Amino acid sequence: MARFDAVVVGAGPAGSTAARELAASGARVLVLDKSTFPRYKACGGGIPLRTERLLPFPIDVVVEDSVNLLEVSLRGRSGFVRDSGSPFARMVMRDRFDDLLLEWACAAGAQFRPLSTVRVVDSDSDELTVRCDDSFEAQARFLVCADGAHSPTGKMTGLGEGIAECAAWEVEFEGSATNRARWSGRAFVDVGYSPWGYGWLFPKEKHLSVGMVLPGDNARELKGRVAALAERIGVATEPTAISRGHKIRFRRENEPIAGARALLAGDAAGLADEFTEEGIVYALQSGRLAARNLLRALDCGPGLASYQEDVNSEIMPELKAARYMAGLFYAGLRRGGRGWFTAARLMPGLWSAFFAVQRGESSYAREVTRFWFVRLARRLQSS
């Protein structure tokens, strides 16, 4: 039976990052994934500029557009545009982006086995045994569960219980030259959905990614609402390349994401922010933290409690701040409707703060301490 220091399940951003950093430090690493790569991944594909700072290699080869314009509307009305002055996000197709991260992991020495779905995880005091549906088995000292928001491997290890979630639906339209030119360099966000949520259009080289995220209880509304959004913004007649739903998880408190020999990373751990529903930057961060703590455990003995402690201290403050900002923004829309939307339009501090966070010049945790957020919170609480 093949033996490794660590088996990583899932070759997305979190898994490939953990595998790359582990292999680069000399660990024997195996990456398992149920798919071959590249593979389509349902995701808006808008990557904040701050993401690039977490990678030791350029991503230019997979960037399909860079956006500095943000167009915002209230259910298709009262739209306005804010210019960040310089790009605040890169637009990628996740199949190409994820494949790039995996290539770097393999170049560092990680082994990759596609088309292997984990069915059983057995553990004892010394190691884990992973058994796949293709009869492949491997033993390892540690396991990284980076297999997405559903994380069946995480469930096998008893981790991730109680993490909140929501639902999203996305359609990839084959954009005409006219529509691609219309949306080039511009991200679109449509708000005003109850009780919260937003629709989006993100431009790509050959596609226009249109989607929406809503609370899980509203999942059945998604297809119809995305179709209506596409109609309003003039892309509904474009050919559809693919449409797919997915869920997003939000870790809010101290839900368990690490055990003695296994940990959750990225979407499996619920590391997405509740203001933008973006999770790639946190996936990369958690992959790095996973590698750091696994290397420590390989040297000093079993136990991965320090990983959860690091996530709690280095990632959770940002996620909690983003949740606070989302609460303020959506509470304002629910209570003030168009009046709040108009007020938000006239708040330059709101948009400069948002762009600064996306570029990595600030953070949600820092921005929630600024005076205008405190004043706004008091006003909403007293209304």
Q: Are 30 and 7 in contact (CB under 8 A)?
A: yes
**Cα 203 to Cα 330: distance, rounded to the nearest angstrom:** 25
Q: Are 67 and 185 in contact (CB under 8 A)?
A: yes
**Cα 377 to Cα 372: distance, rounded to the nearest angstrom:** 9
Q: What is the largest CA-CA distance in the chain?
A: 65
Q: What is the pLDDT of residue 124?
A: 82
**Cα 319 to Cα 219: distance, rounded to the nearest angstrom:** 23
* All structural domains of the chain: 2-42+94-163+251-314 (3.50.50.60), 67-92+168-247 (3.30.9.10), 319-382 (no CATH)
Task: Give the three-state DSSP class for 140.
Answer: strand
Q: Are 358 and 53 in contact (CB under 8 A)?
A: no
Closest CA to 293 of 2, 18, 7, 8: 18
How much of the chain is helix, strand and coil, in % rounded to 5? 40, 25, 30
Model confidence pLDDT, tens digit, residues 254-263: 999 999 999 9
Determine the Cα angle at 293 with ends 291 and 299, to 5°: 105
DSSP 8-state class, residue 239: P
Q: What is the pLDDT of residue 375?
A: 60
Under-50 pLDDT residues of the chain: none
**Cα 205 to Cα 63: distance, rounded to the nearest angstrom:** 9
Q: H helices of 346-370, where?
A: 348-359, 364-367
Strand partners, 173: 208, 240
Q: Are 273 and 364 in contact (CB under 8 A)?
A: yes
Q: What is the pLDDT of residue 335?
A: 85
Q: Where are the beta strands (DSSP E) in 51-192?
A: 65-67, 69-74, 77-83, 89-91, 111-113, 118-123, 128-132, 137-145, 164-173, 186-191
The length of the chain in residues reads 383
The residue written with tokens 């796949």 in the block is 132
Q: What is the pLDDT of residue 325?
A: 87
The residue written with tokens 């393999």 in the block is 106
